[in-house]
Structure 1
Amino acid sequence: MSCKLFLLLEYLALSSVILFQLEPRLGASNNITRCIDEEREALLTFKQSLVDEYGVLSSWGSEDGKRDCCKWRGVRCSNTTGHVKVLNLQTSDHEFARRKFLKGKISPALLKLRGLRHLDLSKNDFGGSPVPEFIGSLSKLRYLNLSCGTPSSKIPHPFRDLSGFEYFNVENSNLFSVGSLERLSHLSSLRHLDLSCINLTKSSDWFQVVSQLHSLKTLVLRSCYLPPINPSFIWLFNLSTSIETLDLSDNHLPSSSVYPWLFNLSRNILHLDLGFNHLQGSIPEAFQHMVSLRLLSLASNELEGGIPKFFGNMCSLNQLYLPRNKLSGQLSELIQNLSSGCTVNSLEGLCLYANDITGPIPDLGRFLSLKVLKLGENHLNGTINKSLSHLFKLETLSLDGNSFTGVISETFFSNMSNLQMLFLADNSLTLKLSHDWVPAFQLKWLSLASCKMGPHFPNWLQTQNQLISLDISNIGISDTIPDWFWDLSIELFFLNLSNNHISGKLPDLSVLKSDDIVIDISSNNFDGPIPPLPSNSTFLNLSKNKFSG
């Protein structure tokens, strides 16, 4: 017994010694993770080169309580060395929409961040300075995003040495305005390349360069004015078959320049966007070999015919976007081809907007995964099929610009709690919705123009406080606008109440704060003085009313 007690005491004593020895090390570790003085000063020098009108970097400072740069907005440090490894000052979509971004120049003080691996300065305005050569000297950098706002310049020479570079996004930055892309071919570890909205008209070697990037997973060359690929060159280059996301949209490429290359690496493609090109004829059968495809966009081409039957057996297909083509045939036939196999279970988005498709809406009740359904601007007719009311995941429903007839009641929407966008305009529809109806959804976009809804102002709109776009023009309202309407949503940027018989006085409209707001209240019976108007409107139509003063 005494032996066991001795062993226990010995164990406790040894544990105490170990803990005592570890204690200062933990304290040292805590000191290491704090911001390194030299790097804090480098970041503050970088801040001084910027114009921060909206306090984006208000957490950055040298005063007490702000000295730990590892806690600053956009800064992340290594837990072991304390070196800054991430600087992410990307402007959020919300801030970017309100032009709350950084301006100024990119200071070479960033060179002192020797451990920097991730640099994202996208969606800011550095238009007054060139892309610094020093960025290419950040030897540990693996991720660079300078998209949307970076100034014009040629690619810095030191990029040639960054063979470990993995992510390179300079979308809409004019980084390459002319000439060869040969220097990019040395980035042997590159996995993501985005040169969207950069003029590559004279970059005739773009295809050859891309073919040498064997680690590439994502290639985005949207709106680059790409020169056509010479078909005789396609077989001379071992194009990477690792590519999973490919976006060549808006380059006016002909079918002959795209299909031979595309179908040579088709089995690995997950996301493919060939919209806004010059693809002609019917949809090629070769697409059926893209067995992993999740998203396919062939929008705004010149494709004809219908939807091939093989699409019904593409089990991974989530989103199929074919708007603004010349597709034709009965909608029931097209839907039958899509529902003949496993695609009926996987499809979440179907866009056939602005084609030449005819007939009524068939039963879509089996497409229970659908979140987006866009059938607007075709030649569809008949009543709205009740099967749509069972699509409980639906977020966007577009049926506008057709010849639908009949009555839609609130029971049609009873299962659509996820609906955010509803477009029924320019049909011959009647909406019968009770005065005290409380919808299950919260809409952001609503267009009911030329539907029959009057004579009372739709009271159910009072429940929709997230609207950013509202068009209830020409719906037969003969009423005044209730006071609650003008407080409905401060995010509203599009409002069309025109061609009704709405009377009364307008309140102070200057309280509508959205940038570039569009307001049309023409052809009504508003009277009294014209109130204060939004200073930031891009379109304002008050004509054909009874204003005085």
Structure 2
Amino acid sequence: MYGVNFQDSKEWVQTLNSLPLLESLYFGDNNLTTIPTSIIGLNFTSLKTLPIDGNEFNSRIPDWIGQLTTLTTLELLSCSFVGQIPSQLDNLTSLNFLALGEHYLKGPMPSLHNLKNLTELYIWNVNIGEDIRMVVNKLPNDTLDKLEIFWLLNTSLIGNLTGWVSKMPNLKELVLSYNNLNGMLPTTIGNLTSLETLCLNKNNFTGEVSEAHLTGLSNLKWLILGPNYLNLTMNMNLIPPFQVEYLFLPNCKLGPYFPLWLQNQSQIIRIVLSNTEIAEMVPHWFWNLQSLSFIDLSYNHMRGGLPLSMEHLTNLNVLFFNNNLFEGGIPHLPQSIEYVDLSNNLFSGNIPHCFPNALVVVNMAHNNLSGAISSSIGNLNLLRILKLNNNSLKGQLPLELKFCQHLIVLDLGENKFEGQIPKWIGENLRNLTFLRLRSNLFSGTIPIQLVKLQYLQILDLSDNKIFGMIPQDMGFLSSMAFLDGNSDNSAYGDFVRLHSLNNVFNTVPEVKPAKQRV
């Protein structure tokens, strides 16, 4: 009964209690707000599957769950449960799947020594706050030996991986992201031959990662190690036994050379090598990885030019090459591209005349681009961010730009644009929160139509040839935070963080919901 609105139901558990032969109960996203903490005369003890997610109980996990000893699947996700993780979970001796997530629950972790059939454990956004070795010791050895999924994501754990990883030889997913774990990665990780997902990002791990950590992982699909303080020292001639799909190594030390072992990763979909101290050109073979949908090579010292065309990368959605030393012209981009950040490089020449229509974010600020903006910019009716500031662009703003009516950030500052500030900016670009045209050659008066920008927070028209009075009605711009200043473009940063899928720190695989598991 997923998605059924039971908002006003207060007796739903009592109703279910009249169904003693019930084996599966799916209550997710039902707008439930009440759940009894105890039940006298519990009858539905034949229950095997109980996923409850997406409700707002704001109460502790009920005691009666511990009486459902036939449960094999218990999924308590996003229900605003509070208090401690209940010790009654240890009564569920048939359980093989346990998921607790996104609650206001706190530790310590109770003993789970009776859960000898458990194979999948998902816990995230729960404040356990213990040494991870103590948590592992609360599971029976029989369970450790057969455990396939071990998630402790954002659970305030401390400690390291030494001495216990080898006790889980059949792991397929090890996800320990967003904790306070430290120390070196044990080479025994390389013995987990069934491992498909390794997510250790956003911890304080140190030391080296060599081929000894990886050459035994023939089934690896997700390798997410950064940000941490790790130094990848793998042999340049290494041919890994795996075909990774997701590779996230931000803030790890890889450079100065581009990792040659990537050229055999023909199935790679997302790659993030930002701030990894790479200081050479992108090798030609990299552009043959046609499965790529997400590339982030930002904040390195990479140099040289890009290929004239990337149109053969038909799956590419996100391209972040900002803050490097790339030069030459802007390549022709694939029609699938949505987010492009090439800012803070040495690119020169004209902006491409034809942009892909799917573009949502375009940032080419702080380069050496010249020429005019093509009228084809008007075809980008999904565009939300356009940053071309700090270049040498010239001419008048194309009239077709008014068709980009979803724009929230328009930054054309520090260029050589001329003519009057167009009236259509205020008449057509009604969603703007940030408008920056400073340090150009604009002339004339400030158009009164700008008062129609009711969401505008930052307006910078300084250092132009504008004259006359500031329109009196400018006072009606109620959302205005700054008028004429050097403010940072916070709207751009917020939008990219929320919408560009560049928040790699939160990147983890998804739990397969119970309704898809049976």
Structure 2 match to 1:405: 370
2:216 corresponds, among 239, 244, 253, to 239
Aligned 1:313-328 pairs, distance under 5 A: 313-328=288-303
Structure 2 match to 1:220: 199
**Structure 1 runs, 4 residues or longer, greater than 6 Å off:** 27-30, 67-71
Give the residue type in structure 2 aligned to 1:385.
Answer: P
1:478 partnered with 2:446: yes
Change (3 A) 1:435 1:208: closer
1:90 partnered with 2:82: no
Structure 2 match to 1:190: 171
Change (3 A) 1:179 1:305: closer
Structure 2 match to 1:7: none
Aligned 1:45-124 pairs, distance under 5 A: 58-61=33-36, 73-74=53-54, 83=71, 85-90=73-78, 103-111=82-90, 116-124=95-103
1:167 corresponds, among 149, 163, 178, to 149
| Offset at residue 422 of structure 1 (A) | 3.1
Distance in 2, Cα, partners of 1:443 & 1:404:
22
1:352 corresponds, among 296, 305, 321, to 321
**Is the 1:277–1:300 Cα contact (8 Å) retained in structure 2?**
yes
- Secondary structure of 2:101's partner? coil
Change (3 A) 1:424 1:143: farther
Distance in 1, Cα, partners of 2:255 & 2:17:
67
Structure 2 match to 1:146: 123
Structure 2 match to 1:497: 459
Distance in 1, Cα, partners of 2:263 & 2:401:
50
Structure 2 match to 1:521: 482
Aligned 1:327-476 pairs, distance under 5 A: 327-329=302-304, 331=305, 334-336=306-308, 344-362=313-331, 364=332, 367-387=334-354, 389=355, 391-408=356-373, 411-414=376-379, 416-429=380-393, 432-434=397-399, 437-439=402-404, 442-443=406-407, 447-450=411-414, 452=417, 454=421, 456=423, 458-459=425-426, 462-464=429-431, 470-472=434-436, 474=438
Q: Structure 1: which 5+ residue stretches go unaligned?
A: 1-26, 41-54, 92-100, 513-518, 525-549
Structure 2 match to 1:33: 22
- Secondary structure of 1:211's partner? helix
- Identity, in percent, stands at 19
| Offset at residue 295 of structure 1 (A) | 2.2
**Is the 2:436–2:461 Cα contact (8 Å) retained in structure 1?**
no
Distance in 2, Cα, partners of 1:417 & 1:478:
26
CA RMSD of aligned residues (A): 4.3
Distance in 2, Cα, partners of 1:83 & 1:200:
32
**Is the 2:244–2:267 Cα contact (8 Å) retained in structure 1?**
yes
- What does the per-residue CA deviation read over 1:295-340, in whole Å, with 9 as the maximum and x for residues that have no partner? 22211122122111111322333333211111112x3xx214x75x
Change (3 A) 1:395 1:34: same
**Is the 2:303–2:324 Cα contact (8 Å) retained in structure 1?**
yes
1:229 corresponds, among 200, 208, 232, to 208
Distance in 2, Cα, partners of 1:274 & 1:71:
34
| Offset at residue 242 of structure 1 (A) | 1.0
**Is the 1:165–1:189 Cα contact (8 Å) retained in structure 2?**
yes
- What does the per-residue CA deviation read over 1:198-218, in whole Å, with 9 as the maximum and x for residues that have no partner? 34433x4x3334223222111
Give the residue type in structure 1 aligned to 2:383.
Answer: L
Give the residue type in structure 2 aligned to 1:184.
Answer: V
Structure 2 match to 1:51: none
Structure 2 match to 1:285: 260
**Is the 2:253–2:277 Cα contact (8 Å) retained in structure 1?**
yes
Larger helix fraction of residues: 1
Normalising by structure 1, we get a TM-score of: 0.65
Structure 2 match to 1:271: 246
Q: Structure 2: which 5+ residue stretches go unaligned?
A: 1-15, 56-64, 463-469, 486-518
Change (3 A) 1:211 1:419: same
Structure 2 match to 1:545: none
Query: Using CA pairs below 8 Å that are at least 6 residues apart, which structure has the higher relative contact order?
Result: 2
Change (3 A) 1:412 1:171: same
Aligned residue pairs total: 428
Give the residue type in structure 1 aligned to 2:22.
Answer: T
**Is the 1:270–1:294 Cα contact (8 Å) retained in structure 2?**
yes
Give the residue type in structure 1 aligned to 2:482.
Answer: I
| Offset at residue 196 of structure 1 (A) | 2.1
1:299 partnered with 2:261: no
1:134 partnered with 2:111: yes
Change (3 A) 1:31 1:125: closer
